[in-house]
């Protein structure tokens, strides 16, 4: 994939490689080797009989430092701790009951963020009716406010007097 043209997408390149090398092959991604499986039957076999090595993640020093010794869900190794954490997340955080209880917060934050986006457009619009808005920042603020409302019960206004406070929090 080193000589890949920039307009060719990775999944198209991997599909062509699977056609050449078969339904299972390995490639090097940076300093790590990756196993590419393009067959449904092989993937099912790997995740049923050899699920432990396939589900584990490589240990990076940076991930260990960031995640308090790989204690965070996305960085932890497959094992008893990971299974308990997955169960806790799926039952307590991402369950239908939990989402149903907190749906008003999600709807409220989305509505508030859209109103803020409209106000921002109204302030900045030019003669053609368009206004540049940094959408990455807008989605980041939506995400931050939603998480803060769910966890702490408070939102940070991104406009107005609390801009410095919100940026500090972010």
Q: What is the pLDDT of residues 122-150, one digit of tens each?
A: 888 777 778 888 888 888 888 888 888 88
Structure tokens at 91: 């039952």
- pLDDT band per the 50, 70, 90 thresholds, residue 5: low
How far apart (Å, rounded) are the C-alpha atoms in residues 37 and 134? Answer: 38
Across-strand partners of 24? 37
pLDDT digits over 27-86, tens only? 998 888 888 999 999 888 888 887 777 767 777 788 888 888 878 877 888 888 888 988
Pair 123, 159: CB distance under 8 Å: no
Residue pair 17/28 in contact by the 8 Å Cβ criterion:
no
Question: Under 8 Å CB-to-CB from 131, ≥6 apart: which residues?
Answer: 120, 121, 123, 124, 125
Helix, strand, coil content of the chain in percent (nearest 5): 60, 5, 35
The better pLDDT of the pair 118, 157 is held by 118
The number of C-alpha atoms within 13 Å of 20 and in the hemisphere containing its C-beta is 7
Q: Which of 105-114, 140-149, 161-170 has the highest mean pLDDT?
A: 105-114
CA-CA-CA-CA torsion sign (53, 55, 56, 62):
positive
**Spatial separation of the C-alpha atoms in residues 145 and 52, rounded to whole Å:** 37
Question: In b/e form, how buried is each residue of 75-84, taking b as 16+ CB within 10 angstroms?
Answer: bbeeeeebee
Would you say the pTM of this structure is higher than 0.75? Answer: no
Report yes or no: 58 and 32 within 8 Å, Cβ to Cβ.
Answer: yes
What are 110-121's pLDDT values in tens digits? 999 899 888 888
């Amino acid at each position: 994939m080193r000589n890949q043209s920039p307009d060719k997408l990775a999944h198209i390149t991997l599909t062509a490689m699977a056609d050449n090398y078969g339904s299972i092959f390995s490639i090097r991604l940076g300093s790590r080797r990756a196993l590419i499986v393009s067959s449904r039957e092989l993937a099912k076999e790997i995740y049923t009989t050899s699920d432990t090595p396939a589900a584990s993640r490589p240990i990076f020093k940076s991930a260990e430092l960031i995640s308090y010794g790989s204690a965070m869900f996305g960085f932890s190794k497959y094992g008893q701790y990971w299974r308990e954490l997955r169960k806790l997340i799926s039952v307590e955080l991402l369950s239908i009951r939990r989402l149903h209880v907190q749906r008003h917060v999600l709807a409220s934050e989305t509505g508030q963020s859209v109103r803020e986006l409209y106000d921002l457009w109204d302030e900045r619009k030019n003669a053609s009716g368009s206004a540049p808005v940094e959408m990455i920042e807008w989605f980041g603020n939506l995400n931050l406010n939603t998480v803060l409302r769910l966890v702490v019960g408070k939102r940070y206004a991104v406009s107005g007097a609390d801009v410095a406070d919100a940026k500090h929090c972010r």
